[in-house]
């Protein structure tokens, strides 16, 4: 292996803020963004057991799907480099040059990028589409978009085991919902998980998370929920209000929140806390996945 240096367990850091003390709530950040600069947080957790499985099946190529702003694409490329797999990234839509930093980084780690029109991309889980990819590229280990599958949930569940304080609620942002599904599965009876959708119209996530849990554990749990109203216009969309929030959070707490996911979650979480949605005395852990 090419000397992959992962910071695990990821640090847990308390946030001090007047809003929190006024509401009698404690807030900790689970800094998964510090695990590795490119194998970002939950993407590493989701890939870990999949890489073992790919190895066990003697596969030499990983193939996966993603949009142009996909941390997953980047993480698969990086893992391919470190764990000696060839990697193919099927990218939604057309090529835009120069490549943005996500795709440039993927290419840098040796990933072959293949662009797929949006209509076909929507049918990407369809066996015909997969078969045509196999006839074009040969055999591969298939990772779903965003890396969320049963093995990914197992990796995400380990995040909870690393937390060595007592807490009531754990929050994360949701793209595919895999992280939320995995985290929720590892909680004790009194604890609950709260996801924040970064997608507009994210109500499909309820079914998605439930299905992922069923595929991994045979049943789904009722200890989680998802906030749908903090998407700021949709996936990879930003507004001035969000940008101002990122700056002020960085100035107050020294953490620059990722604008695609974590800033939206943190804005939503602080908004809910400010509105008294959390009981006094409660402790919240917010997962900063990247
Ligand atoms: C992928 C990603 C998420 C969303 O994870 P899902 O399991 O797809 O819901 C959240 N935050 C960051 C930084 C990510 O890269």
Each residue of 53-112: pLDDT tens digit? 999 999 999 999 999 989 999 999 999 999 999 999 999 999 999 999 999 999 999 999
Q: CB within 8 A of 208, min separation 6: which ones?
A: 176, 177
Q: Is 282 left (phi over 0), alpha (psi -120 to 50) or beta?
A: beta
Q: Which residues line ligand 1 (CB under 6 A)?
A: 40-43, 71-72, 146, 148, 173-179, 258, 261-262, 289-290
pLDDT at residue number 1: 55
CA–centroid distance, residue 175 to ligand 1 (Å): 5
For the stretch 254-271, pLDDT in tens is 999 999 999 999 999 999
Do the Cβ atoms of 9 and 265 come closer than 8 Å?
no
Strands 26-31 and 192-197: unpaired
How many beta carbons lie within 10 A of that of residue 281, not counting itself? 9
pLDDT at residue number 2: 73
What is the average per-residue pLDDT within 113-137? 97
Q: What is the pTM of this model?
A: 0.96
CA–centroid distance, residue 290 to ligand 1 (Å): 8
Ligand 1 atom having least distance to the Cα of 156: 7
The token pair at 255 is: 């953490």
């Amino acid at each position: 292996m090419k000397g992959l240096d992962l910071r695990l367990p990821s640090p847990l850091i308390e946030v001090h803020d007047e809003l929190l003390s006024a509401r009698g709530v404690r807030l900790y950040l689970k800094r998964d963004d510090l695990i590795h600069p490119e194998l970002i947080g939950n993407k590493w957790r989701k890939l870990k057991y999949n890489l073992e499985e790919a190895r066990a099946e003697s596969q030499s190529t990983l193939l996966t799907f993603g949009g142009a702003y996909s941390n997953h694409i980047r993480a698969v490329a990086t893992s391919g480099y470190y764990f000696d797999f060839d990697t193919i990234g099927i990218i939604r839509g057309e090529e835009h040059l120069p490549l943005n930093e996500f795709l440039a980084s993927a290419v840098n780690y040796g990933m072959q990028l293949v662009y797929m029109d949006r209509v076909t991309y929507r049918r990407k889980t369809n066996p015909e589409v997969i078969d045509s990819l196999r006839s074009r590229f040969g055999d591969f280990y298939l990772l779903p978009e965003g890396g969320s599958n049963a093995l990914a949930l197992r990796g995400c569940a380990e995040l909870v085991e690393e937390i060595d304080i007592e807490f009531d609620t754990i929050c994360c942002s949701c793209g595919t919902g895999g992280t939320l599904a995995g985290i929720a599965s590892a909680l004790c009876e009194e604890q609950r998980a709260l996801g924040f959708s970064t997608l507009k119209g994210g109500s499909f996530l309820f079914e998605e998370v439930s299905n992922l849990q069923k595929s991994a554990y045979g049943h789904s749990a009722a200890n989680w929920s998802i906030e749908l109203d903090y998407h700021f216009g949709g996936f990879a969309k930003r507004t001035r209000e969000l940008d101002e929030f990122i700056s002020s959070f960085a100035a107050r707490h020294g953490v620059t929140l990722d604008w695609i996911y974590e800033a939206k979650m943190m804005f939503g979480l602080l908004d809910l806390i400010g509105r008294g949605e959390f009981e006094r005395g409660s402790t919240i852990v917010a997962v900063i996945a990247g």
